[in-house]
Structure 1
Amino acid sequence: MKLKTLLFIAASALTCTMAKAGQQVARPKLVVGLVIDQMRWDYLYRYMPHYGEGGFKRLLKQGYSCENTRIPYVPSVTAIGHSCIYTGSVPSIHGIAGNNFVKNGQKVYCTDDATVRPVGTTSKAGYMSPRNLWVTTIGDELRMATNDQAKVVGVALKDRSSILPAGHNPNGAYWFDDATGGFITSTYYTSKLPAWVKTFNAQKLADKYLSAPWNTLLDKKAYTQSTADRTNYEDGIQPGVEATLPLNLPALRKQYGYGILRHTPFGNTITLDMAKAAIEGEALGTDSVTDLLAVSCSSTDYIGHQVGTNAVEIEDTYLRLDRDIAAFLDYLDQKVGRGEYLIFLSADHGASNNALYLTDRRIPAGSWDSDGAKRYLNEAVNAAVHTNGNVVSHVMNNQVFFDRKAIAAQGLDFDRIKAAAVQRLEQDSAVLYAVDMAKTATSALPDEVKFRIINGYNRERSGDVQIVLKPGFSAHGLKGTDHGAWNPYDTHIPLVFMGWGVTPGASTRQCYMTDIAPTIAALLHIQAPSGCVGQPIF
């Protein structure tokens, strides 16, 4: 009995000693991830003459910029990008194979979950959770490393941009609801909105931001970009709506509802307002245990898709975002303390130049018709193997998906079907390469393309044939912009760390989006996420 008692006391003493030692690990009070949706790396510098001193310029001067950060997979889209940043993993491992992908033979949205219910709304926007994500996030690891004492919160306009970064076991994830103009969540996280979220929504900030026109910050002659570029090539904020500034937001609010806020710079503003409310409401960064706040500014993506990369509207959006970031950093200085927080800024993907914009400059470019490709692929496959109906089910994410149940039921040769599809795609003048996903490793592809296809291929959820379009070509059409390819315009992203533990500087050494999570893990002295394939940046 005495021996057992002594062992218990010794074990208790050791536990207490370890706990004290754990408390002495040097860590910041708060980690903030700031992801700017569709921000190309060159946007850091393209608009610099008009940036203030407290936003992007402060991050570059006081932080460490990884100037050659690339995305190591395709397709380069929002859901995968946000998952990759916070898991250090790739679609082949983490399971998020696109914004939409095929699961059990059915096309699904990345965060759809019929087993949960909306909280804060009655709209379908609340049927969401992270259950399709197969691995842990840096927030999950932080929670486990601190016995769930650390608090983790995700905030974004887009559901996927809040849910996937926040991970499986956060204190909350909140996204914007077009029906109510407020932020909502689902029963995966809680049965009712926290009081602080209700208070935030009661301010009706969406009404405030949509109550006045969207005017220009500068005289149009002072903008870096050309108004002519926008006029010639771009759609407008919504189909049939001209986006030439100033834009009549009250009228658009009446016509389209709260969803129009996403297509204005003020969608970024309300997101950072919500981020501040989360810091206050959850008391983030107020004690000795490190907390994590994952924030994504989504309006840059909505606007970019509508007006392209060469428009006054996109430049004006980044100038306003620069001001919002400056105000947010000032808030963090006051609330958490300068030097007490660690922030990183990055993007989920970049964006291509508009095809007509390029061809007007004698640069090869064009639009690729994915619906037309589906039709001609079914014709080619039917001619090759004589199927009973169409076995090409989807062409999305620049991938060809086949109806495997129909193929198996008819006893068809799947390899012959894929070979017929590849052969037909290679006859398309917009296609650079077409490759059977199962044979990518042995295909005659450049390494820069090959390893991205392999990393992006998820056996259960990806297509069976990868399509690589020629540079400058996309399936978006001839209006606005798109993304998703391997090319630098889609995969070269900003990455800047600033604050606690960071020495100012810059490097052009190549690193990858997958290196962000292990860098944070190394700084915090915690385990990297369960699917992490990246390396710390030091």
Structure 2
Amino acid sequence: MESFYIKGRGFMLLALLLTAGHLAAQVTIRERRGEQREEVFDQPPKLIVGIVVDQMRFDYLSRFWNHYGEDGFRRLAGDGFLCRNHHFNYAPTSTGPGHASVYTGATPAVHGIIGNNWYDKETGEDVYCAGDSQVQSVGTESGAGMNSPHRLLVTTITDELRLHHQMRSKVVAVSLKDRGAVLPGGFTANAAYWFEGGQDGNWISSSYYMEALPDWVRKFNASGAAGAYKRVWEPAEPLRTYVESNLDNVPYESPFAGQEAPVFPYDLPALWDGNGAFDLLRITPFGNSLTLDFALEALKEEELGADLITDFLAISFSSTDYVGHKFGVDSKEVQDTYIRLDRDLARLLDELDDRVGEGEYTVFLTSDHGAVPVPAYLADAGVRAGYPDNALIQKQFGEFLRYTYGTTEIIKASSNSQLFLDRDVIRNLELDPSEVEAQLAAELLGYEGIYQVYTGTQMRGASYKQGIPAILQNGFNQKRSGDVLIVYDPGFAQYSPTGSTHGTVHNYDTHVPLIFYGKGIPRGQLYRRTEIPDIAPTLAAMLGIAFPSGTTGEPIAEVLK
């Protein structure tokens, strides 16, 4: 009996030793696996800062590179990830569609913002992309605050961030332009603010977001921050060093009211009353500086990025667009505006380092569209460029309509280089709408200055994969777009002979910068093509949140490695 007990104890001891060895082996395996396993969902950045620079061509990075300091564009591009071949994949390339596409990850075909303004087929009236008669202005007695995102058809990345965190994330959007704040803010933003110029020069909002301006906004408006920029605009660096731009006094620029020539220096106090008072700041680099002043106040007062729940600050710098429209792509005024914006970006990054913490935030910078060099300048330089003869086109087209159909009323409206047919007139004439579209397209294609023409029937029935028709189709919304789509010759613009414009399918309007910087972003550059709708899903993948509801873009994998 004793022998069996001893043997039993030996057996139990052996079993315990074997069990302990097995458990130790399991621990070792678990430890080894833990060392090899990647963390699937890292702690996300405390703050995302989305920067849209209005009318920024990609080559403004390289052209003015030697004038930029170390802490603005150079810091973003050198320490971040630069996409060199980044494009809009739709037209029209304008501010409303641009901001909507950046933040929804979709094109106008899906998100529905087909222009800054467009003809509404249901009401028979022109509508504004952010206009909303059902809301009230906040912070002003005028109608300048009657805006909301109600014309958007899908969610934004800012919406998805708020929804993911059960509305605990904060989203604030800021821009001189109402559409530059409303569309990035999406449906659920805590606040969107834009600038009302005129005699007041205040930041305002809409009853869609709030009943009254917060105390900090009222204090900012009362502080005289905007009035501090009522000063002389002189070049930030010696004008003779701006060799990357045209001469200072050329016929491709337009002067301010009260000016004999569009040349430096610009005495804003002397020009003030004749040029819209505070609206004058929009057409100077000081408009960007004021925008940043207000955005930094929002960063501080709203405590953005102060905890581990990711917040979002959307900033759109609009003065670059206003200056480009007035003076043109190759002007010294545009160059000076970007040199000053570079300094503002350095100021922004320094403040983010201090308030949020270096390495705790993520920034992306892109544009809402590019711009064409002034066609008059191109033509003088020997490049095929110019302006369509609209009077002649209208005369020829009117004669064609009367001869073919007996009336010009077959065309109900036109907007964004699209014609809208009057279906009632076509029905009364017992005509086939698709055949009418084809006849009009064939006629217009023969006119000088018109490059290509497509029909609504083609846009609805075909599936284009590349080239101009694909770009048009991505911008074609079945319920909102027109029946005949016109593309003008490259280098030709429906605009004044001074200043630059945009809106077309051509590369000068589609090629813009894209830079990611900060937490979760490797250093690098990418030469393969990326597209505007790729931005939102890239952010969503990085944050581990749902993609915006209409997303058509793809995450840029190289940015996330």
* TM-score, length of structure 2 as denominator length: 0.88
Q: Determine whether 1:277 maps to 2:297.
A: yes
Q: Mean Cα displacement is larger for which, 519-528 or 276-285?
A: 276-285
**Is residue 303 of structure 1 aligned with residue 323 of structure 2?**
yes
Aligned to 2:71, which of 32, 54, 70?
A: 54
State the alpha-carbon separation in 1 of the partners of residues 425 and 130 from structure 2: 27
Partner of 2:405: 385
Q: Answer yes or no: is 1:221 the counterpart of 2:226.
A: no
Amino acid aligned to 1:93: V
**What do the CA deviations read for 1:157-190 (whole angstroms, capped 9, x no partner)?**
0000100000001100000002320110111111
Separation (CA, whole Å) in 2 of partners of 1:396 and 1:229: 35
Which moved further from structure 2: 367-376 or 341-350? Answer: 367-376
Q: State whether residues 248 and 262 of structure 2, in contact with CA within 8 Å, keep that contact through their aligned partners in structure 1.
A: no
Cross-structure match for 2:414: 395
2:499 to 470, 477, 480: 480
Indicate which of 62, 83, 99 corresponds to 2:100. Answer: 83
Amino acid corresponding to residue 76 of structure 1 in structure 2? T
Partner of 1:67: 84
User: Out of 267, 273, 287, which is 2:307 matched to?
Assistant: 287
1:354 to 374, 393, 403: 374
Q: CA deviation at 1:386?
A: 1.8
1:473-510 Cα deviation digits (max 9, x unpaired): 11113211111111111000100000010111111011
**Residue 220 of structure 1 contacts residue 227 of structure 1 at CA under 8 Å; is this kept in 2?**
no
Alignment of 1:61-460 (within 5 A): 61-103=78-120, 104=122, 105-179=124-198, 180-210=200-230, 212-228=231-247, 231-237=250-256, 242-255=261-274, 256-370=276-390, 373-374=393-394, 376-387=396-407, 390-408=409-427, 412-440=431-459, 447-460=466-479
- Structure 2: state its 5+ residue gaps: 1-40
Which structure: larger Rg?
Answer: 2
C-alpha distance in structure 1 between counterparts of 2:170 and 2:179, whole Å: 20
Supply the distance in 2 between the matched residues of 1:467 and 1:446 (Cα, whole angstroms): 19
Residue in structure 2 matched with residue 495 of structure 1 by the alignment: 514
1:6 corresponding residue in structure 2: none
Letter in 2 for 1:198: R
CA distance in 2, matches of 1:384, 1:250: 57
The whole-number CA distance in structure 1 between the counterparts of 2:257 and 2:160 is 41
**Deviation digits for residues 291-313 of structure 1 (CA, Å, limit 9, x no counterpart):** 00110000000010111111110
- Please give the per-residue CA displacement for 1:299-331, whole angstroms capped at 9, x wherever unaligned: 000010111111110000000000011011101
Give ranges in structure 1 of 5+ residues lacking alignment: 1-23
**C-alpha separation in 2, matches of 1:328 and 1:425:** 49
- Provide the rounded CA distance (Å) in 2 between the counterparts of 1:488 and 1:313: 23
Distance 1:230 1:468, change over 3 A: farther
SS in 2 for 1:296: strand
Q: 1:449 to 1:247 in 2, by over 3 A?
A: same
How many angstroms apart in 2 are the aligned matches of 1:140 and 1:445? 30
Structure 2 CA distance for aligned equivalents of residues 172 and 226 of structure 1: 39
**1:364-410 CA distances to partner (integer Å, 9 max, x unpaired)?**
001124565455434322321223x5332433322222334554466
Deviations 1:92-141 (A, max 9, x none): 11010000112223211111111111000011211111100010000100
Q: 1:409 to 1:166 in 2, by over 3 A?
A: farther
Query: Structure 1 residues 442, 92: closer, same or farther in 2, change over 3 A?
Result: closer
Letter in 2 for 1:434: V
Residue 423 of structure 1: how far off its partner (Å): 2.4
Report the equivalent of 1:505: 524
Deviation at 1:429, TM superposition (A): 1.3
The offset of 1:205, in angstroms, is 1.9
2:541 aligned with 1:518: no
Q: Is the 8 A contact 1:385 1:416 kept in 2?
A: no
Q: 1:128 to 1:265 in 2, by over 3 A?
A: same
For the residue of structure 2 that corresponds to 1:205, the secondary structure is coil
Asked if 1:35 corresponds to 2:52, the answer is: yes
Give the 3-state SS of the residue equivalent to 1:231 in structure 2. coil
SS of the equivalent of 1:163 reads helix
Distance (whole Å) between structure 2 residues aligned to residue 508 and residue 535 of structure 1: 16
TM-score if structure 1 supplies the norm length?
A: 0.92
Which residue identity is paired with 2:467? E
Post-superposition Cα deviations, 1:5-63, rounded to whole Å, max 9, x if no partner, equal xxxxxxxxxxxxxxxxxxx8511000000000000001011001111111001111110
Deviation at 1:288, TM superposition (A): 1.1
Do the aligned partners of residues 258 and 168 (structure 1) sit closer, same or farther apart at CA in structure 2, a change above 3 Å counting? same
In the alignment, the residues of structure 1 paired with residue 101 and residue 284 of structure 2 have an alpha-carbon distance, to the nearest angstrom, of: 26
For the Cα contact (< 8 Å) 2:80–2:518, is it kept in 1?
Answer: yes
Distance 2:511 2:78 in 1: 20
C-alpha displacement of 1:516: 0.2
Kindly, what percent of the aligned residue pairs are identical? Answer: 42
1:39 aligned partner, one-letter code: M
Instruction: State how far apart, in whole Å, the 1-side matches of 2:526 and 2:81 are.
Output: 8
State the alpha-carbon separation in 1 of the partners of residues 463 and 154 from structure 2: 32
How many Å separate the matches in 1 of 2:130 and 2:305?
A: 28
Amino acid at match of 1:432: Y
Shift of the 127–442 alpha-carbon distance from structure 1 to 2, 3 Å rule, reads: closer
Provide the rounded CA distance (Å) in 2 between the counterparts of 1:433 and 1:285. Answer: 48
Q: Residues of 2 paired with 1:284 and 1:147: CA distance?
A: 17
Q: Which amino acid counterpart does residue 119 of structure 2 have in structure 1?
A: V
Query: What is the distance in 2 between the residues matched to 1:241 and 1:292?
Result: 44
Report the aligned-residue RMSD. Answer: 2.1
Q: Is the 8 A contact 1:102 1:108 kept in 2?
A: yes
> Would the alpha carbon gap of residues 216 and 344 (structure 1) be closer, same or farther in structure 2, given more than 3 Å must change?
same
> For residue 86 of structure 1, what is the amino acid of its counterpart?
Y
Cα distance change on mapping 1:370 and 1:330 into 2, 3 Å: farther
Is 2:305–2:356's contact at 8 Å kept on the other side of the alignment? yes
SS in 1 for 2:251: helix
SS at match of 1:394: strand
